[in-house]
Amino acid sequence: MEIVILNGNEAARLDGWKDWVGRLPRPMLFGKRDKRETFERQAEKVFPSVLGTALRLTRSREDAEDLAQEAIVRAYDAFERFDGSNFKAWMLRIVTNLYINKYRQRQRGPQLGSLEEDGAIEPVSLESELPDRLLFDNVVGTEIEEALGKVPEDFRMAVILSDIEGLSYQEIADATHVPIGTVRSRLARGRSMLRRALEAYAIKEGYLRKDAVE
């Protein structure tokens, strides 16, 4: 192996070159095979979130699979434009956009719709002295999912993206095309509604006494 010692100027030029390469948009460096492999590797990691979000939005396994697959195809087509920051947030943004533009219109049955967004936000906490994590300890996943299903769609979307998928307010605002202020109020109201729905389950199953919430 040959070792070449660079003088100061040459090293500076090399660093400049590295900087320049570093500033290139990453996708420009992809070959076609690399693009597919990179995309597939990243998409496979976030696919459970993509499908889960699709399922929670559509409330139908068949529609959710179609929506998730379409989102993957769209993302693959647009992968060269992905800025390389948060792939999961980018994917969920595509899913949400697709859902809003395509699936929401053909949802059957009455829409739970958006309640007044500027309505009063109820507190989340109970009057009981026990912390919620103890009160709801017996609640299972299906009950969470059913309670989420009772939350109107726009509020549910905010809760899913924030509390289940861990997106920031800005990422949720980008995904749902609403201002951050709206995201904040939807999240606060969505959580209150989720909490009320969970209380109903907890009381029904005897985990929570009715007088504890009154």
Q: Which residues bind another protein (CB under 8 A)?
A: 32, 36, 39-40, 43-44, 47-48, 51-52, 55, 64-65, 68-69, 72-73, 76-77, 121, 123-126, 131-133, 136, 139-142, 144-145, 148, 159, 162-164, 166, 168-169, 184-185, 187-188, 191, 194-195, 198
- Shortest separation between residue 52's beta carbon and another protein, angstroms: 5
- Shortest separation between residue 150's beta carbon and another protein, angstroms: 13
CA-based nearest residue to 198, from 114, 157, 141, 120: 141
Which CB atom, from 93 or from 195, has the smaller least distance to another protein?
A: 195
Which CB atom, from 15 or from 145, has the smaller least distance to another protein?
A: 145
- Shortest separation between residue 106's beta carbon and another protein, angstroms: 20
CA distance 150 to 167: 22
Query: CB count, 10 Å around CB of 155?
Result: 24
92 phi-psi bin (left φ>0, alpha ψ -120 to 50, beta other): alpha
Which CB atom, from 13 or from 209, has the smaller least distance to another protein?
A: 209
Q: What is the residue type of 34?
A: D
CA distance 65 to 69: 6
- Shortest separation between residue 152's beta carbon and another protein, angstroms: 16
Give me the residue label for tokens 């995201």.
Answer: 183
Which CB atom, from 31 or from 110, has the smaller least distance to another protein?
A: 31
- Shortest separation between residue 83's beta carbon and another protein, angstroms: 21
Which CB atom, from 2 or from 91, has the smaller least distance to another protein?
A: 91
Query: CB count, 10 Å around CB of 105?
Result: 7
**Would you call 38 exposed, middle or buried from its count of C-beta atoms within 10 A (0-12, 13-18, 19+)?**
middle
CA distance 96 to 20: 35
